[in-house]
């Protein structure tokens, strides 16, 4: 058993004497006896470090990770390469172990990282203000909805069916709480149906939501979608940050609030988290943003420094009138994000975007060359696309056959009998060719 | 800068001006090398039409890898951290973060597991989550657990939405949530987010809930009571059974804010006290490192009657012993986020529970309470100026009031906190809870040594003695930190929240 404590019997005796009680038990006197557990917790006994390591390694070995197979899984989280310097920086004690920077004089490192991160997110999105991170993608979208609710008090949200299903579900959960109806607009030809979109939006629409590229990989016409909004309505868009080297930034498309899942930026897959959510907005919504914001100031000697600012928005000051209940966010993961963006750099983010664009096109061509396999839609795609399989080849069976060959062909979409296929810079042409080969054989075997 | 320009009154870190990464580097520098284009190139404008294209790439930094590493390593040195020194930040449970946890969380089988991996090929992760759920269930005394919430406040939102769904399912519209005036700010903020109304309940002379006030306010339209026990005053409310009875008596639900769970693990359980819903802070009681403001993780445990409303998806163990993820109930409040929660935090907290076991968890709580009371006793010497706000003993943390210190020595709690920085300590939480004047909330945790506590108490005494001589010293502190006291008003008045480019 490791407890990471240091109290010896001699310590305990001396400490109890100092306190003026006889036993540790005496310190728990306020807890009524009838509420005491009165037995040991029914948990396994503690184990030494090496045994725990072995147990956790054995559990890890029961998973098939992106290290064990060639994976084309995406759908919100992607197998991008995480450069080694991120592991090193994120594991430094000085970044790993402090709390939220409540004492700015001894938190300048973390606060400056937040300031740099906010700058990077603002640059990526083309929006002037960004916060220091929220939990992750789908709850970021629901928090943006709360911002809209507080800003205009309207009773209806309109959301494109191209938004990640987890985001739509999360928005529904939150919106039921703060009392807004959620109306979903279907897709047509792979993108948000413009007629249904225009029809759904009225004067009671407090916010509209779309995702770009959408869940099925299609690039949406963001400018057209935001132009449908009426006075007071907030246009909220979820973006994949990795494509913003080449995709027109939301700030230039009429988007008021841009949020998204930050995992593609230097964060591990971690079976879904922790990663970070980013949150950027137009100046008008600065004082309505959720979460921490780092700001620049000076110290008593006139030196440049950073503090948490605009805290009157936040729960610890504003309590029931706060713009959000968020306290702990994802500072360490946001550090990974900004280090990744610095590592990628001004040229790199464009080059990466262009590479994904070419390889994704190649992969789409390769897969749709398989007899019976067709593109789910013909819209432009950058890093992900969907293909339908022939009716005689249920996608679950096809995925199983491919997995047995060491290829994870992508996310099964059983309703459309389709596969959502994601490309990263780690998926070479050779691997894409292998996917096409394995998938082609799987489809014909299952059909036969 | 020549050697002659070096100001000997400044520390090396103070001499280093804050320069952001956007102000460093030079055009054309880079760290990332893109893989070669290995597919037949196609005219990019045919793949992504010009109307959708970005005209000019984002102005990200341009630096080599060595420059990036040096920049962030230097920045890291401008932080105080738990591995370097004592961090008695009340209500935050700054206990040691075992390094084993970082090692096991980084194993590729955990770290590179895709969240959409088929459950059949993620059995290890699901087994780990199942085991963690069972352990949290046992610690809380409540049968069902969802690991999904991302942090404590997210768990609170889950809890309040659950309480609401429970009442709605019974055809009842209940609009109010009772919270004591000692509550964390996240409690009232959560209530509003969930579309309900906060009703404050007073605190009695012993620091517990004012039962008369509670009885008066516990009406048929109350959805739930949110309570922290021990509360933010470090006081365990001995009337908890009666509180539960009053709240249940009007058909309402009891919510336990688990921020202070570190005092009671293996000793008493929220479920046995009558609570229906508990959230855990894995980043407090269960050693997930705080990361300078996250990540956290805020699982909830619930009673049988709340189970149908738990978030989707649930982890289920099938008869053959295999695990799956399924949407189990049509009455579920739905999802609160993407995927299955902050799995990386689950790995760390599960490793912690495996290391400590039943006995170790209890020992951790006992040691946390012992350490807190010892430090409180050591500070008895200064109780004239820093008295304990409530009671005589405490649980895992205690609140001192700096009001006499301010009155008689002329220094505020903030000044004391800033002077502690010069002594090499992170100060306790200041100005919380709100109902204690000049509050100082101290939580030493179980992983600190007696020597550390002794030295910390000596530092407080030294600062008070110094203030008696010359209060100006503390008022202008700190002196030795990378920057000195910062102008927060200026930052809020004219917000500069990004680097101008």
Render pLDDT for B248-293 as a digit per residue (tens, 0 to 9): 999 999 999 999 999 999 999 999 999 999 999 999 999 999 999 9
- Per cent of chain A over pLDDT 70 is 100
Which CA distances in Å does B154 have to A132, A231, A329, B75, B365? 17, 32, 10, 30, 25
Which one of A11, A135, A361 has the shortest CB-CB distance to B151?
A135
Clarify whether residues A123 and A209 are in a common domain. yes
B31, B287, B293, best to mutate vs chain A, most A CBs in 10 Å: B293
Span A73-85, average pLDDT: 98
Helices A165-178 & B152-169, crossing angle to 10 degrees? 70
Instruction: Flag if A56 and B351 touch (Cβ within 8 Å).
Output: yes
Q: CA–CA separation, B26 vs B13, rounded Å? A: 24
Instruction: Flag if A335 and B292 touch (Cβ within 8 Å).
Output: yes
Residues in chain B: 501
Q: CA–CA separation, A169 vs A428, rounded Å? A: 34
A23, A33, A60, A92, best to mutate vs chain B, most B CBs in 10 Å: A60
Which spans in B89-210 are helix H?
A: 99-105, 108-111, 123-140, 152-169, 186-193
Domain that holds residue A31: 9-50
Which CA distances in Å does A318 have to A135, A281, B87? 20, 21, 26
Residue A433 lies in a domain: yes
pLDDT of B20 reads 98
Residue among A177, A115, A142, A54 nearest A335 (CA): A115
pLDDT of B368 reads 98
Does the structure show a pLDDT above 70 at A126? yes
The burial class, CB within 10 Å (0-12 / 13-18 / 19+), for B355 is: buried
pLDDT of A231 reads 93
Instruction: Flag if A326 and B151 touch (Cβ within 8 Å).
Output: yes
The helix or strand, by DSSP H or E, that contains position B440, with its residue range, turns out to be strand B439-442
Q: CA–CA separation, B325 vs A1, rounded Å? A: 32
Clarify whether residues A264 and A148 are in a common domain. yes
3-state secondary structure at position B218:
coil
Clarify whether residues A90 and A152 are in a common domain. yes
Which distant-in-sequence residues (6+ apart) come within 8 Å of B155 by Cβ? Answer: B149, B258, B279, B280, B281, B298, B299, B300
Asked if residues B257 and B227 have their Cβ atoms less than 8 Å apart, the reply is yes
The class of domain B358-488 in CATH terms is alpha beta
Instruction: Flag if B96 and A4 touch (Cβ within 8 Å).
Output: yes
A270, A375, A397, best to mutate vs chain B, most B CBs in 10 Å: A270
Kindly state whether B58 is in contact with chain A, defined as any CB-CB distance less than 8 angstroms: yes
CB contacts < 8 A (A, B):
734
Fold of B135-316+324-342: 3.40.640
Asked if residues A77 and A423 have their Cβ atoms less than 8 Å apart, the reply is no
Asked if residues A280 and A121 have their Cβ atoms less than 8 Å apart, the reply is yes
Q: CA–CA separation, B187 vs B196, rounded Å? A: 11
Clarify whether residues A40 and A122 are in a common domain. no
The β-bridge partners of B179 are: B200
Which chain B residue lies closest to A139 (C-alpha atoms)?
B337
Instruction: Flag if A268 and B356 touch (Cβ within 8 Å).
Output: no
Clarify whether residues A332 and A399 are in a common domain. no
pLDDT digits (tens, 9 = 90+) for A133-154: 999 999 999 999 999 999 999 9
Clarify whether residues A423 and A376 are in a common domain. yes
Instruction: Flag if A299 and B486 touch (Cβ within 8 Å).
Output: yes
Which chain A residue lies closest to B147 (C-alpha atoms)?
A273
pLDDT of A413 reads 98
Residue A176 lies in a domain: yes
Residues of A in contact with B333 (CB under 8 A): 173, 176
Residues of A in contact with B109 (CB under 8 A): 57, 59-63, 65, 67-68
B34, B78, B114, B242, best to mutate vs chain A, most A CBs in 10 Å: B114
Residue A332 lies in a domain: yes
Which CA distances in Å does A168 have to A159, A210, A270, B160, B246? 8, 10, 22, 20, 38
Instruction: Flag if B116 and A328 touch (Cβ within 8 Å).
Output: no
Residues of B in contact with A335 (CB under 8 A): 72, 291-292
Clarify whether residues A214 and A265 are in a common domain. yes
Residue A1 lies in a domain: no
Instruction: Flag if A96 and B102 touch (Cβ within 8 Å).
Output: yes
Q: CA–CA separation, A381 vs A364, rounded Å? A: 9
Residue A63 lies in a domain: no
- 10-residue averages of pLDDT along chain B (501 residues): 71 93 97 96 97 97 98 98 97 96 98 98 98 98 98 96 97 96 90 95 93 97 95 91 96 94 97 96 97 97 98 97 94 97 98 97 97 98 96 95 98 98 98 94 98 98 98 98 96 96 93
Please give, rounded to a whole number of angstroms, the shortest distance from the CA of A380 to a CA of chain B. Answer: 6
Which chain B residue lies closest to A344 (C-alpha atoms)?
B32
Q: CA–CA separation, B180 vs B199, rounded Å? A: 8
Q: What is the DSSP string of A380-441?
A: -BSSEEEEEPPTTS-HHHHHHHHHHTTEE--EEEGGGTEEEEE--TTS-HHHHHHHHHHHHH
Q: CA–CA separation, B16 vs A286, rounded Å? A: 31
Please give, rounded to a whole number of angstroms, the shortest distance from the CA of B193 to a CA of chain A. Answer: 6
Instruction: Flag if B481 and A106 touch (Cβ within 8 Å).
Output: yes
**DSSP for residue A39:** S
- Residue B402: CB atoms within 10 A of its CB come to 25
Clarify whether residues A328 and A354 are in a common domain. no
Which chain A residue lies closest to B237 (C-alpha atoms)?
A30
Clarify whether residues A383 and A327 are in a common domain. no
pLDDT of A312 reads 86
Which one of A110, A116, A177 has the shortest CB-CB distance to B195?
A177
Cite the residue boundaries of each domain of chain B with CATH code 3.40.640.10: 135-316+324-342
Q: CA–CA separation, B53 vs A84, rounded Å? A: 31
Kindly state whether B157 is in contact with chain A, defined as any CB-CB distance less than 8 angstroms: yes
Residue A64 lies in a domain: no
Instruction: Flag if A95 and B76 touch (Cβ within 8 Å).
Output: yes
pLDDT of B181 reads 87
Instruction: Flag if B266 and A37 touch (Cβ within 8 Å).
Output: yes
Instruction: Flag if A136 and B490 touch (Cβ within 8 Å).
Output: no
Cite the residue boundaries of each domain of chain B with CATH code 3.90.1150.10: 358-488
Please give, rounded to a whole number of angstroms, the shortest distance from the CA of A435 to a CA of chain B. Answer: 15
Clarify whether residues A265 and A189 are in a common domain. yes
Clarify whether residues A99 and A76 are in a common domain. no
Band of residue A213 on the pLDDT scale cut at 50, 70, 90: very high
Q: CA–CA separation, A148 vs A159, rounded Å? A: 13
Structural domains counted in chain A: 3
- What proportions of chain B, in percent to the nearest 5, are helix, strand and coil? 40, 10, 45
- Residue A13: CB atoms within 10 A of its CB come to 10
- Residue A351 phi/psi, 5-degree rounding, is -60, -40
ipTM of this predicted structure = 0.98
Residues of A in contact with B363 (CB under 8 A): 3, 5
- Residue B204: CB atoms within 10 A of its CB come to 15
CATH of the domain at A149: 3.40.640.10
Band of residue A52 on the pLDDT scale cut at 50, 70, 90: very high
Residues of A in contact with B62 (CB under 8 A): 345-347
pLDDT digits (tens, 9 = 90+) for A270-325: 999 999 999 999 999 999 999 999 999 999 999 999 999 999 888 888 888 888 99
Dihedral sign (CA B164, B170, B171, B172): negative
Residue among B446, B427, B479 nearest B80 (CA): B427
Clarify whether residues A42 and A163 are in a common domain. no
């Amino acid at each position: 058993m490791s407890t990471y404590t240091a109290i010896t019997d001699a310590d305990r005796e001396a400490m109890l004497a100092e306190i003026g009680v006889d036993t540790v038990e005496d310190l728990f006197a306020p807890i009524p006896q009838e509420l005491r557990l009165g037995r040991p917790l029914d948990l396994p006994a503690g184990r030494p470090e090496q045994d725990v390591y072995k147990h956790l390694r054995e559990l890890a070995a029961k998973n098939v990770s992106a290290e064990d197979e060639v994976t084309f899984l995406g759908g919100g989280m992607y197998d991008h390469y995480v450069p080694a310097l991120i592991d090193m920086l994120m594991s430094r004690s000085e970044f790993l172990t402090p709390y939220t920077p409540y004492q700015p004089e001894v938190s300048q490192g973390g606060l400056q990282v937040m300031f740099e991160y906010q700058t990077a997110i603002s640059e990526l999105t083309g929006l002037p203000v960004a916060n220091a991170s929220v939990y992750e993608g789908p709850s970021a979208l629901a928090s943006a909805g709360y911002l809209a609710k507080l800003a205009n008090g309207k009773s209806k949200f309109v959301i494109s069916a191209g938004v990640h299903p987890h985001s739509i579900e999360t928005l529904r959960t939150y919106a039921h709480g703060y009392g807004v109806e959620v109306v979903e607009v279907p897709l047509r030809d792979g993108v948000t149906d413009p007629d249904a979109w225009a029809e759904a939006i009225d004067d009671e629409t407090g916010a509209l939501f779309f995702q770009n590229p959408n869940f099925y990989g299609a690039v949406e016409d963001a400018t057209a979608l935001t132009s449908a909004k009426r006075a007071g309505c907030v246009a909220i868009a979820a973006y994949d940050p990795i494509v913003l080297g080449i995709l027109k930034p939301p700030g230039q498309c009429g988007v008021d609030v841009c949020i998204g899942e930050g995992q593609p930026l230097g964060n591990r897959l971690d079976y879904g988290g922790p990663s970070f959510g980013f949150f950027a907005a137009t100046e008008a919504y600065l004082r309505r943003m959720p979460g921490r914001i780092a700001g620049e100031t000076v110290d008593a000697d006139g030196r440049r420094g950073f503090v948490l600012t605009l805290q009157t928005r936040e729960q610890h000051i504003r309590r029931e009138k706060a713009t959000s209940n968020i306290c702990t966010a994802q500072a360490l993961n946001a550090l990974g994000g900004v280090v990744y963006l610095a590592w990628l750099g001004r040229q790199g983010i464009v080059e990466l975007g262009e590479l994904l664009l070419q390889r994704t096109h190649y992969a789409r061509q390769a897969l749709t060359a398989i007899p019976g396999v067709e593109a789910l839609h013909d819209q432009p795609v950058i890093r992900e696309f969907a293909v339908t399989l022939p009716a005689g080849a249920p996608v679950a069976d096809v995925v199983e056959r491919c997995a047995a060959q060491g290829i994870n062909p992508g996310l099964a979409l059983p309703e459309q009998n389709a596969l959502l296929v994601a490309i990263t810079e780690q998926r070479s042409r050779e691997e894409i060719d292998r996917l096409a080969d394995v998938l082609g054989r799987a489809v014909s075997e299952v059909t036969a | 800068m020549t050697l002659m320009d070096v100001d000997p009154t400044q520390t090396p870190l103070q001499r280093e001006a804050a320069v952001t990464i956007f102000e460093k580097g030079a055009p054309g520098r880079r760290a990332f090398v893109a893989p070669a284009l290995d597919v037949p190139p196609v005219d990019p404008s045919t793949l992504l039409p010009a109307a959708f294209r970005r005209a000019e790439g984002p102005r990200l930094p341009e630096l080599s890898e060595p420059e990036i590493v040096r920049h962030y390593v230097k920045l890291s040195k401008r932080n105080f951290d738990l591995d370097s020194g004592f961090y008695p930040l009340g209500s935050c449970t700054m206990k040691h973060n075992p390094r084993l946890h970082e090692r096991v969380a980084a194993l590729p089988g955990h770290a590179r597991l895709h969240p959409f991996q088929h459950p059949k090929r993620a059995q290890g992760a699901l087994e780990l989550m199942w085991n963690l759920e069972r352990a949290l269930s046992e610690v809380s005394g409540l049968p069902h657990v969802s690991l999904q919430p991302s942090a404590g406040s997210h768990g609170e939102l889950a809890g309040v939405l659950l309480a609401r769904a429970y009442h709605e399912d019974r055809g009842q519209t209940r609009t109010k949530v009772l919270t004591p005036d000692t509550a964390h700010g996240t409690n009232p903020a959560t209530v509003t987010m969930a579309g309900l109304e906060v009703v404050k309940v007073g605190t009695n002379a012993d620091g517990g809930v004012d039962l008369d006030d509670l009885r008066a306010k516990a009406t048929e339209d109350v959805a739930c009571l949110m309570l922290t026990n021990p509360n933010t005053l470090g006081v365990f409310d001995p009337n908890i059974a009666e509180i539960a009875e009053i709240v249940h008596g009007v058909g309402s639900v009891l919510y336990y804010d688990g921020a202070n769970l570190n005092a009671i693990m293996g000793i008493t359980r929220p479920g046995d006290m009558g609570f229906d819903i508990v959230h855990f802070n894995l980043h407090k009681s269960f050693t997930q490192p705080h990361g300078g403001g996250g990540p956290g993780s805020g699982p909830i445990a619930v009673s049988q009657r709340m189970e149908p409303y738990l978030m989707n998806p649930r982890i289920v163990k099938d008869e053959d012993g295999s695990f799956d993820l399924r949407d189990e109930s049509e009455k579920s409040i739905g999802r609160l986020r993407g995927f299955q929660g902050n799995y990386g935090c689950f790995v760390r907290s599960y490793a912690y529970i495996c290391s400590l076991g039943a006995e170790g968890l209890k020992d951790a709580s006992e040691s946390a309470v012992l350490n807190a009371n010892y430090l409180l006793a050591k500070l008895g010497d200064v109780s004239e100026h820093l008295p304990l706000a409530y009671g005589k003993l405490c649980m895992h943390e205690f609140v001192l009031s700096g009001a006499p210190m301010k009155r008689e020595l002329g220094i505020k709690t903030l000044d004391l906190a800033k002077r502690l920085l010069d002594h090499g300590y992170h100060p306790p939480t200041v100005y919380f809870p709100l109902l204690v004047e000049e509050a100082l909330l101290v939580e030493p945790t179980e992983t600190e040594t007696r020597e550390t506590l002794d030295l910390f108490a000596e530092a407080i005494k030294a600062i008070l003695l110094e203030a008696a001589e010359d209060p100006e010293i503390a008022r202008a502190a700190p002196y030795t930190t990378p920057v000195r006291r910062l102008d927060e008003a200026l930052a809020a008045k004219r917000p500069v929240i990004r680097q101008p480019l």
